[in-house]
Amino acid sequence: MDTSEPKFFKAYDFIVDFPGAPLVEIEAYDYDDFFGDDIIGITRIDLEDRYFSQNWQAIDSKPIEYRDLYASSSTITQGVVKCWVEINQKDSKIANLDPINIAPQPVEDFEVRIVIWKGENIEARDWEGTSDVFFRCFFDPEEDQETDTHWRCSSGSPNFNYRLKMPIKSLKDQYMLTVQGWDKDIIASNDLIGECQLDLTPIIEDAVITHRQHFMNKVYWEEWMKQ
């Protein structure tokens, strides 16, 4: 629901004859609760083109296909469907095996712990040459967390030693952490000093696969993330 990148993980079997197998049609629809569902686009797969192709038959592992979806009202692709097609003799051993389990892994809960030790060369935002500095971190702006505030910092090096514990869920395509430095104002709005983004996808995927703690230490940063 409400996504441009849906995932289905469905498998379908059809019994057909060669020659004479019809085209397989894949139709994508926009579901509607109250009115008729709207067709987004269609792609058609020619099974005979594959079955009678020596090159296709020679491949032990059939390739994953990325097929454009087209609507009759436009020549522009309406999206892409990622699929996999294989053709087996009905009485063959492989045809009678259970289908490969392509169900996604269950979503699991993890925790990212971020330690903000200190800042360096933080720009002063107040007229007297100080800043009331705090840091804000988030994967999702609506689920942000903040450090405490280093009041009246005049050295540009605020200290925190503050730990943020951020719950996340597995199986997302990307984990981009945003870290922002702010100057807190009591009366007016807080001023954004600056921000950076860290792609934590590799280290989080490592933790999901191994179910072990992983640390973004200096070695990990230099060898994997700084690039």
* Phi, psi dihedrals of residue 120, rounded to the nearest 5°: -135, 140
The CATH architecture annotation of domain 109-225 reads Sandwich (2.60)
Per-residue pLDDT, 24: 95
List the domain boundaries for the chain.
24-96, 109-225
pTM of the model: 0.66
Q: Using CB atoms within 10 Å of the CB of residue 76, give its burial: 0 to 12 exposed, 13 to 18 middle, 19+ buried.
A: exposed
Is the Cβ–Cβ distance between 150 and 133 less than 8 Å?
yes
Q: What is the pLDDT of residues 192-217, one digit of tens each?
A: 999 999 999 988 998 999 999 988 87
**One-letter amino acid identity for 147?**
T
Query: Does 103 have pLDDT greater than 90?
Result: no
pLDDT digits (tens, 9 = 90+) for 31-78: 988 888 999 999 999 999 999 999 999 988 889 999 999 999 889 999
| Neighbour tally for 118: CB within 10 Å | 13
**Residue type (1 letter), 37:** D
Only one residue has tokens 């020619």, namely: 46
